[in-house]
């Protein structure tokens, strides 16, 4: 199920999810944009809105978090090389 969700995503959205999973809060910071390949500010804004609308991420304090904890564990293992 998760693979089907990810397969249809542009690389910039996957990069955005990686940044969120890694705990980044300032997603427009030059270093974060370069490290994760988030793209132009307009792309970041569009991806943020799309991922919130599709219930992948939600606002949490100063940043965002993955909404589904099972998806978060799977994504961290598959895309962030973090083994639970």
Helices 11-21 and 69-79 sit at what angle, rounded to 10 degrees? 110
pTM to 2 decimals?
0.92
Q: Could you report the per-residue pLDDT of 5-36, keeping only the tens digit for each? A: 899 899 999 999 999 999 999 999 999 999 99
Q: Do the Cβ atoms of 54 and 48 come closer than 8 Å?
A: no
Q: Could you report the per-residue pLDDT of 21-80, keeping only the tens digit for each? A: 999 999 999 999 999 999 999 999 999 999 999 999 999 888 999 999 999 999 999 999
């Amino acid at each position: 199920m998760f693979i089907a969700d990810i397969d249809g995503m542009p690389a910039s959205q996957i990069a955005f999810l990686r940044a969120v999973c890694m705990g980044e809060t300032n997603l427009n910071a030059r270093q974060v944009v370069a490290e994760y390949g988030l793209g132009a500010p307009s792309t970041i804004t569009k991806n943020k809105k799309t991922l919130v609308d599709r219930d992948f991420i939600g606002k949490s304090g100063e940043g965002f978090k993955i909404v589904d904890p099972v998806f978060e564990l799977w994504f961290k293992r598959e895309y962030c090389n973090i083994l639970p």
